[in-house]
Amino acid sequence: MAQKKSMSLVDRYLVAYNAASFVGWTYVLLQTVLYLVQHGTDLSGLFDKVGYAVIYVQTGAFLEVVHSLIGFVRSSPLTVLMQVYSRLLLVWGTLYMFDVPEVRASYGLALMLLAWSITECVRYSHYALSLMGIESSVLLYLRYTMFYVLYPAGVTGELLEMWAALPYAAAIRPSFKGFLMLNMVNYPPVLYKLYTHMIRQRRKVLGGEVKSKKPAVSATAATKKKL
């Protein structure tokens, strides 16, 4: 029986990164759910409860651009940057910048936080376990199924947040409002591209295209592939 190959230093780092991200998003998810259970539709204190945590946790995802640039993962740096960019715009360009109830106490914020945190808890835990050689069929199924609901929900929340920020962006500078509006217009084609990509990935992973007769892909290699 062949001895199991030990993990490289890069893999150990990626496990730590994914595990830390999972912990951060789990905190965001639990705090958001607890707040909604306790306060219902009164969202006036939601940002104070979890706002800065989500800003910092989401900002940490910029490391994924660095990972792709230096070859830790095989993803395209431009593709990763495009995926991270919109969220950084939301957390720094709206949530952090505008301390007003329309932005920080909106239904869009609650919807966005739930969609983001659920998605990321599944994604990061799946990646961390895969790197350690632990395969979870439940996480795999959730990873390639929940996007049907969570992608539209997250995008809806993001658009509502940017819409709420438009008047305040215009007060700072009209060009800032135009910049946010340009990003909003760009959402439908980007969502379509990501949605159809995930559907193809789901068919490949869960639809039986990869049969057991072929050599199994290592956990590390599978994790390093693009989503």
Alpha carbon distances (Å) from 145 to 142, 201, 205, 225: 5, 10, 11, 18
Tokens for 106, please give them: 């909106």
Q: Find the catalytic residue in 64, 120, 158, 161.
A: 158
158 is a catalytic site residue: yes
Say if residues 111 and 153 touch (Cβ distance below 8 Å): yes
167 CB neighbour count, 10 Å cutoff: 13
Among 153, 122, 146, 156, CA closest to 202: 146
Four-point Cα dihedral 182, 188, 193, 198, nearest 10? 130
Conformational region of residue 218, where left means phi above 0, alpha means psi within -120 to 50, and beta covers everything else: beta
Tokens for 195, please give them: 């949605």
Q: Find the catalytic residue in 151, 161, 187, 192.
A: 151
Determine the Cα–Cα distance for residues 187 and 93; give it in Å rounded to an integer.
16
Catalytic amino acids? 151, 158
